[in-house]
């Protein structure tokens, strides 16, 4: 690896002679042990054979010589046995044994004062050295040749020719062996290397596939685009071990890049940074359609400055494309000096393809969801009409996050004859299709109702409509028509949840418990209607199944729970709705859409009423209807009633015209009767204006002509008009 | 929204007959005026406006009548209004001075006859 510091002389020596790297690391070392043991035993036996022929009696006396020689042999044999028992022996150990063997032979030469026979045994150790790494083998070989030549130097009584010849022979044999072993070993190492590389490549490929899958696992089926991008980016950074990153998407139909996800770099200041990088990159990336790397050294101008300022060293970026369309740019960066490799680029390319697909899919899902929500919202009534003597509250809870919109709907309107229609329904299915069908049903229902159809006829017609145009769909519906006298209602149910009626004394009951089948469910169905009595002061509650349906609990049980919750709740529609939602749904996120409508029907007291209406021309008819009903209930003659109605209408029209702005202003009409005199008071909260042109100029004279007295009191808070008329006793 | 009034258009002997049913107030008067005035073709002799089945009419309805009369007169056409004397609307028209200014008729036939002579 070359990562070591300078080595001490001792380390170099050790490396050369015994220690250091083992070229056979990982090999089966028992063979090394056996070879060493055999060599040592062979050495000992050969010495034992040579000893009688060349006795060690010359150098140091007979006794000492024999003792030393036999000790050497004994040591050889003993260490051979000892070696056989060892579990394994490193090749370096064999080298050490070789040096000891050589030293032993040199000593025996001295003791025997003879050279040749013992020198022949050096051959054993030439072989032992040859299997060592070349450098060490050569050192051993040099030691053997030196030992062979030593007698010449010390001036022993030998034939120089023999010694030199033997040394040359040993050197030649040694070199041939070393070359041969080196060649074999090199071949093996090459093979091993190839194998290792192949394994490493296979592992890298596996890891890449795994990384890729892990990254794109983030493309959760229901995740929105923002969440998806955040997740993808964080996983990409983990896999590439990068510090910073960003995903920018092109604004739909535009060329600007919008920063959609960002990691790393201090968040506040750097949206601009990312955009600059992206734009800079995007041009090049869009052109090349390949991943590109950018290092601080390569960068120039502004980008270089930006990179420097942010502490980024290198960037790897790629275009996100869908077919031929460039949808965005993805890049990652590191703060440490690093070059992204071709492998990184290739993997990022694969990741990019998947990211582009995931983004596309998430966008489509989001788009559809958005369309469906918009559609649904635009199809539900923006505001329910304010009808005198009625208070209405409505709640609409879309299903939990990530769910498509459903087809729940409701409506409320007043018919020309003064009856009030409440309708609620649920189209089976979800998404744009359900929302569209729900809009169609609602519109058709209103049209049929205004055409004067009875509740059962409305249901029949809606069913026929489904049969004609939406054979595959199904919808439930509850239609409640409150009679003009408010004393009863007619209801038709097509497979819908029952109606809850809360009497003024607080008791609640369910009505419409035997519904006809849902619209579009069965052919040849005729819908029935039933009648219910409504005591003045009752509250009607309509809802969709989302309010009561809970997996694992029977619907009967839940309906009873709802009935009891209604009895416990206050009568006011707004607080009643809130109380029911809490009681029935708790804090849980709803799995299905929930629509809930509560309407209280108050009687109009004969002594008078008061009503606040929005300052819009459409409110005139509401005011008229309330007045009409009250005048009828109070038993006025038709002539009186008509005069009062027209005069009051003129006063109300003035009030509407006085309102500063349409929409957020209101006016109030109060009607009361004392003996034979009816008093109508109309107040607005705008400034009094002189009648404009001849148009509204007709209003005041008409009021004066129809009533006995007309009083207009303008003030800074608004204008009050009081109309009085003596009526015939009826 | 609740359809306050309905308008039926017809034509007999070159006379445009507009029948209004329901109620006329500030919320629909302008709309009705436009619809009726557009229905009268240039070649028409006159316009008969039948209010016999109007239950409610306020000052904006009266204004509607005067405006229509003005528009029709500008085109050299004749204008007749049908209001039965016993109708509530008749009282409003007389209180507003429309009775004198406009040609009022008891029945549609009267009005058409009056216009074609």
Predicted confidence band of residue A2 (pLDDT cuts 50, 70, 90): very low
How far away is chain B from the Cα of A693, in angstroms, using its nearest Cα? 11
Stronger pLDDT, A172 or A1, i.e. the higher one: A172
Q: How many CA atoms lie within 13 A of B40 on its CB side?
A: 26
- The structure tokens 């359809």 sit at B3
Per-residue pLDDT, A32: 74
Is the separation of the CB atoms in A594 and A585 below 8 Å?
Answer: yes
Per-residue pLDDT, A694: 46
Q: Which residue among A618, A621, A653 sits closest to B60, beta carbon to beta carbon?
A: A653
When scoring A623, A667, A695 by the number of chain B Cβ atoms within 10 A, the one with the most, hence best to mutate, is A695
Is the separation of the CB atoms in A372 and A435 below 8 Å?
Answer: yes
Please answer yes or no on whether B58 and A656 come within 8 Å at the CB atom: no
- Residue A121: closest CA among A56, A39, A208, A219: A39
Per-residue pLDDT, A3: 41
Both structure tokens of A437 = 């069908």
How far away is chain A from the Cα of B114, in angstroms, using its nearest Cα? 28
How far is it, in rounded angstroms, from Cα A648 to Cα A723?
8
Q: What is the CA radius of gyration of chain B?
A: 13
Chain A positions contacting chain B at CB under 8 Å are: 385, 413-416, 450, 616-618, 620-621, 624, 638-639, 642-643, 645-646, 649-650, 653, 656, 694-696, 698-699, 701-702, 705-706
Q: What is the pairing mode between strands B5-12 and B15-24?
A: antiparallel
Please answer yes or no on whether A450 and B27 come within 8 Å at the CB atom: no
Please answer yes or no on whether B56 and A415 come within 8 Å at the CB atom: no
Nearest CA in chain A to B23: A621
Residue B22 touches partner A, C-beta closer than 8 Å:
yes
Q: Which residue among A620, A694, A706 sits closest to B25, beta carbon to beta carbon?
A: A620
How far away is chain B from the Cα of A426, in angstroms, using its nearest Cα? 23
Spell out which residues of chain B touch residue A639, defining contact as CB-CB under 8 Å.
88
Which residue(s) pair with A478 in the sheet? A424, A493
Mean pLDDT of A25-48: 80
Q: How many CA atoms lie within 13 A of A171 on its CB side?
A: 14
Per-residue pLDDT, A54: 81
Residue B116 touches partner A, C-beta closer than 8 Å:
no
Q: Which residue among B2, B59, B96 sits closest to A414, beta carbon to beta carbon?
A: B2
| For residue A299, pLDDT beyond 80 | no
- Residue A156: closest CA among A200, A190, A118, A199: A118
Spell out which residues of chain B touch residue A692, defining contact as CB-CB under 8 Å.
none
Q: Which residue among A624, A645, A698 sits closest to B62, beta carbon to beta carbon?
A: A698
When scoring B1, B2, B63, B91 by the number of chain A Cβ atoms within 10 A, the one with the most, hence best to mutate, is B2
Q: Which residue among A645, A656, A705 sits closest to B95, beta carbon to beta carbon?
A: A705
Ordered per-residue pLDDT tens for chain B, 117 residues: 346 889 999 998 889 999 999 999 998 999 999 999 999 988 899 999 999 999 999 999 999 999 999 999 998 999 999 999 888 899 999 988 888 888 899 999 999 988 887
Is the separation of the CB atoms in A219 and A358 below 8 Å?
Answer: yes
Q: Which residue among A385, A621, A705 sits closest to B23, beta carbon to beta carbon?
A: A621
Cα angle A631, A637, A640; round to 5: 75
Spell out which residues of chain A touch residue B3, defining contact as CB-CB under 8 Å.
416, 450
- Poorest-confidence range of A351-360, A503-512, B15-24? A351-360
How far is it, in rounded angstroms, from Cα A356 to Cα A353?
5
Both structure tokens of A9 = 């002389």
- Residue A216: closest CA among A363, A362, A365, A358: A358
Stronger pLDDT, A523 or A154, i.e. the higher one: A523
Per-residue pLDDT, B90: 92
Instruction: Count helices and strands (H / E) in chain B.
Output: 5, 5
Is the separation of the CB atoms in A296 and A307 below 8 Å?
Answer: yes
When scoring A646, A653, A654 by the number of chain B Cβ atoms within 10 A, the one with the most, hence best to mutate, is A646
Mean pLDDT of A392-410: 77
Helix residue ranges per DSSP H, A600-670: 619-633, 638-658
Per-residue pLDDT, A191: 85
- Residue A710: closest CA among A684, A688, A682, A691: A682
Nearest CA in chain B to A699: B59
Q: How many CA atoms lie within 13 A of A114 on its CB side?
A: 14
Nearest CA in chain B to A652: B26
Stronger pLDDT, A476 or A275, i.e. the higher one: A476
How far is it, in rounded angstroms, from Cα A653 to Cα B60?
9
Residue B58 touches partner A, C-beta closer than 8 Å:
yes
How far is it, in rounded angstroms, from Cα B21 to Cα A112?
148
Residue B86 touches partner A, C-beta closer than 8 Å:
no
How far is it, in rounded angstroms, from Cα B53 to Cα B83?
9
Q: How far is CA A272 from the centre of its chain?
A: 25
Both structure tokens of A44 = 């000992």
- Residue A219 φ/ψ, nearest 5 degrees: -75, 65
- Residue A332: closest CA among A441, A259, A405, A242: A242
Predicted confidence band of residue A690 (pLDDT cuts 50, 70, 90): low
Per-residue pLDDT, B13: 86
Nearest CA in chain B to A700: B59
Please answer yes or no on whether B59 and A696 come within 8 Å at the CB atom: yes
Nearest CA in chain A to B64: A695
Q: What would the DSSP string read from start to end of A333-395?
A: EESS-----HHHHHHHHHHHHHHHHHHHHHHHHHHHHHHHHHHHHHHS-SSPPP-TTEEEEEE
The Cβ of residue A168 has, within 10 Å, a number of other Cβ atoms equal to: 13
Category of A594 on φ-ψ map: left (φ > 0), alpha (ψ -120 to 50) or beta: beta
Spell out which residues of chain A touch residue B23, defining contact as CB-CB under 8 Å.
621, 624
Per-residue pLDDT, A5: 45
Residue B4 touches partner A, C-beta closer than 8 Å:
yes
| For residue A436, pLDDT beyond 50 | yes
Stronger pLDDT, B36 or A114, i.e. the higher one: B36
Spell out which residues of chain B touch residue A420, defining contact as CB-CB under 8 Å.
none
Which residues does A238 contact at the CB level (< 8 Å), separation at least 6?
Answer: none
Is the separation of the CB atoms in A529 and A491 below 8 Å?
Answer: yes
Nearest CA in chain A to B98: A698
Please answer yes or no on whether B92 and A656 come within 8 Å at the CB atom: no
**Interval A176-213: pLDDT, tens:** 988 888 788 788 888 888 888 888 888 887 887 788 77
Nearest CA in chain A to B26: A617
Q: Which residue among A416, A616, A639 sits closest to B2, beta carbon to beta carbon?
A: A416
Average pLDDT over all residues of chain A: 81
Q: What would the DSSP string read from start to end of A184-232?
A: HHHHHHHHHHHHHHHHHHHHHHHHHHHHHHHHHTT--TT--HHHHHHHH
Per-residue pLDDT, A10: 65
Mean pLDDT of A135-158: 80
Spell out which residues of chain A touch residue B30, defining contact as CB-CB under 8 Å.
none
Spell out which residues of chain B touch residue A706, defining contact as CB-CB under 8 Å.
95
**Strand order in A257-263's β-sheet?**
A257-263, A244-250, A325-334, A314-322, A292-295
Q: Which residue among A621, A638, A694 sits closest to B25, beta carbon to beta carbon?
A: A621
How far away is chain A from the Cα of B79, in angstroms, using its nearest Cα? 20
Q: Which residue among B2, B25, B63 sits closest to A698, beta carbon to beta carbon?
A: B63
Q: Is A618 exposed, middle or buried (0-12, 13-18, 19+ CB in 10 A)?
A: middle
The Cβ of residue A322 has, within 10 Å, a number of other Cβ atoms equal to: 13
Please answer yes or no on whether A696 and B27 come within 8 Å at the CB atom: no
Per-residue pLDDT, B82: 95
Per-residue pLDDT, B53: 93
When scoring A387, A613, A617, A725 by the number of chain B Cβ atoms within 10 A, the one with the most, hence best to mutate, is A617
When scoring A384, A614, A621, A628 by the number of chain B Cβ atoms within 10 A, the one with the most, hence best to mutate, is A621
Please answer yes or no on whether B62 and A624 come within 8 Å at the CB atom: no
| For residue A4, pLDDT beyond 50 | no
Cα angle A277, A279, A281; round to 5: 65
Q: Which residue among B1, B3, B58 sits closest to A649, beta carbon to beta carbon?
A: B58
Residue B85 touches partner A, C-beta closer than 8 Å:
no
In chain B the first and final C-alpha atoms are separated, in Å, by: 41
3-state secondary structure of A600: strand
């Amino acid at each position: 690896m070359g990562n070591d510091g300078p080595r001490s002389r001792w380390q170099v020596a050790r490396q050369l002679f015994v220690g250091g790297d083992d070229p056979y690391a990982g090999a089966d070392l028992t063979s090394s042990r056996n070879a060493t043991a055999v060599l040592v035993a062979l050495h000992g036996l050969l010495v034992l054979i040579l000893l009688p022929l060349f006795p060690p009696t010359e150098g140091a006396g007979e006794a000492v010589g024999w003792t030393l020689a036999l000790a050497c042999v004994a040591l050889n044999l003993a260490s051979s046995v000892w070696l056989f028992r060892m579990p394994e022996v490193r090749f370096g150990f064999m080298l050490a044994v070789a040096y000891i063997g050589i030293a032993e032979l040199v000593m025996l030469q001295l003791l025997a004062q003879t050279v040749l026979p013992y020198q022949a045994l050096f051959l054993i150790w030439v072989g032992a050295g040859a299997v060592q790494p070349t450098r060490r083998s050569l050192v051993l070989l040099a030691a053997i040749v030196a030992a062979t030549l030593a007698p010449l130097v010390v001036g022993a009584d030998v034939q120089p020719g023999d010694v030199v010849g033997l040394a040359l022979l040993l050197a030649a044999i040694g070199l041939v062996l070393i070359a041969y072993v080196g060649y074999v070993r090199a071949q093996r190492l090459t093979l091993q290397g190839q194998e290792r590389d192949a394994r490493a490549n296979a592992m890298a490929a596996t890891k890449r596939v795994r990384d890729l899958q892990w990254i794109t696992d983030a493309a959760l089926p229901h995740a929105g685009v923002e969440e998806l991008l955040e997740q993808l980016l964080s996983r990409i950074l983990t896999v590439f071990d990068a510090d910073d990153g960003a995903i920018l998407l092109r604004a739909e139909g535009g060329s600007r890049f919008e920063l959609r996800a960002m990691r790393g770099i201090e968040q506040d200041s750097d949206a601009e940074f990312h955009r600059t990088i992206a734009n800079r990159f995007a041009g090049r990336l869009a052109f090349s359609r390949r991943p590109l790397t950018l290092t601080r050294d390569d960068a120039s101008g502004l980008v270089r400055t930006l990179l420097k300022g942010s502490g980024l060293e290198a960037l790897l970026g790629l275009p996100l494309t869908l077919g031929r369309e460039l949808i965005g740019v993805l890049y990652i960066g590191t703060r440490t000096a690093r070059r992204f490799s071709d492998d990184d680029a290739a993997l990022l390319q694969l990741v990019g393809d998947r990211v582009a697909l995931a983004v596309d899919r998430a966008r489509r899902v989001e788009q559809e969801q958005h369309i469906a929500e918009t559609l649904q919202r635009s199809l539900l009534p923006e505001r329910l009409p304010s009808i005198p003597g009625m208070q209405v509250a409505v709640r609409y809870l879309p299903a939990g996050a990530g769910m498509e919109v459903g087809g729940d709907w409701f409506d409320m309107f007043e018919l020309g004859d003064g009856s009030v229609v409440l309708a609620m329904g649920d189209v089976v299915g979800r998404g744009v299709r359900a929302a569209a069908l729900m809009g169609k049903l609602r519109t058709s229902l209103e049209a049929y109702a205004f055409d004067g159809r009875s509740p059962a006829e409305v249901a029949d017609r809606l069913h026929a409509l489904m049969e004609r145009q939406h054979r595959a769909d199904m919808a439930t519906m509850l239609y409640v028509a409150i009679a003009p006298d408010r004393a009863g209602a007619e209801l038709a149910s097509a497979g819908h949840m029952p109606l809850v009626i809360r009497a003024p004394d607080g008791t609640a009951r369910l009505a419409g418990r035997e519904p006809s089948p849902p619209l579009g469910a069965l052919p040849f169905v005729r819908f029935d209607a039933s009648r219910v009595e409504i005591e003045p002061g009752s509250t009607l509650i309509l809802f969709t199944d989302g309010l009561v349906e809970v997996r694992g609990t029977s619907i009967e049980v839940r309906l009873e729970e709802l009935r009891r919750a209604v009895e416990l709740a206050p009568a006011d529609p707004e607080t009643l709705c809130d109380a029911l939602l809490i009681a029935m749904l708790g804090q849980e996120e709803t799995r299905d859409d929930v629509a809930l409508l509560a309407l209280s029907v108050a009687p109009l007291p004969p002594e008078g009423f008061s009503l606040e209406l929005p300052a819009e021309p459409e409110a005139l008819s509401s005011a008229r209807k309330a007045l009409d009903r009250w005048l009828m209930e109070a038993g006025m003659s038709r002539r009186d009633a008509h005069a009062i109605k027209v005069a009051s209408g003129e006063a109300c029209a003035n009030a509407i015209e006085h309102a500063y702005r349409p929409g957020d202003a209101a006016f109030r009409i109060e009607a009361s009767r004392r003996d034979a005199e009816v008093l109508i008071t109309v107040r607005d909260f705008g400034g009094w204006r002189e009648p404009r042109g001849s148009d509204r100029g007709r209003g005041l004279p008409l009021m004066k002509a129809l009533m006995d007295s007309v009083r207009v009191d303008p003030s800074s808070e608004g204008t009050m008009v009081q109309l009085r008329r003596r009526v015939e006793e009826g | 929204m609740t359809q306050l009034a309905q308008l039926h258009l017809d034509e007999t002997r070159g006379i445009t007959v507009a029948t209004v049913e329901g109620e006329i107030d500030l919320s629909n008067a302008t709309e009705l005026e436009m619809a009726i005035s557009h229905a009268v073709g240039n070649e028409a002799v006159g316009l008969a406006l039948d209010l016999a089945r109007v239950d409610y009419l306020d000052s904006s309805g009266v204004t509607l009548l005067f405006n229509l009369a003005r528009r029709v007169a500008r085109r050299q056409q004749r204008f007749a209004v049908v209001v039965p004397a016993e109708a509530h609307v008749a009282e409003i028209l007389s209180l507003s001075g429309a009775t004198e200014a406009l040609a009022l008729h008891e029945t549609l036939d009267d009005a058409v006859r009056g216009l074609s002579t």
